[in-house]
Amino acid sequence: MARILVVDDAKFMRMTLTNMLEKANHDVVGEAENGSEAVKLYEELKPDLVTMDVTMPEMSGLEAVRKIKQGDPEAIIIMCSAMGQQKMVVEAIETGAKDFVVKPFDEGRVLDAINRVLK
């Protein structure tokens, strides 16, 4: 069981992911709707893992990953986006993300990614 911070600007996506994670016995310790909130909550909550949307208002997911990794190089982050383009995947991994899942979420793929990066 992991303590997870869910970050997405769409409440429906946060709810979908939270339900999926809780069903798999993970503990969703917080939710953020933009990158700025994500960085602040990461510092407060120190979760085991973050699911991070790429495109959000105020601060993008990629920028939030950079800031979180500056403060905690060991942070484990999985990027989530409807834009599954190769360039976005490469940029997310170069920024420090451990994996990338595409929306709409496939429950098996999300849980596999989480289990893989937490080992």
Query: Phi, psi at residue 7, to the nearest 5°?
Result: -125, 120
Q: 2 pLDDT exceeds 70?
A: yes
Confidence at residue 90, expressed as pLDDT on a 0 to 100 scale: 86
Q: 98 pLDDT exceeds 90?
A: yes
pTM equals 0.95
Task: Assign domain 3-118 one CATH number from 3.30.420.40, 3.40.50.300, 3.40.50.2300, 3.40.50.620.
Answer: 3.40.50.2300
- Please give the angle made by the CA atoms of 45, 18 and 90, to the nearest 5 degrees: 80
C-alpha distance from residue 91 to each of 66, 69, 97, 99, 100 (Å): 11, 14, 9, 11, 10
Segment 12-56, tens digit of pLDDT: 999 999 999 999 999 999 999 999 999 999 999 999 999 999 989
Domain boundaries, the chain: 3-118
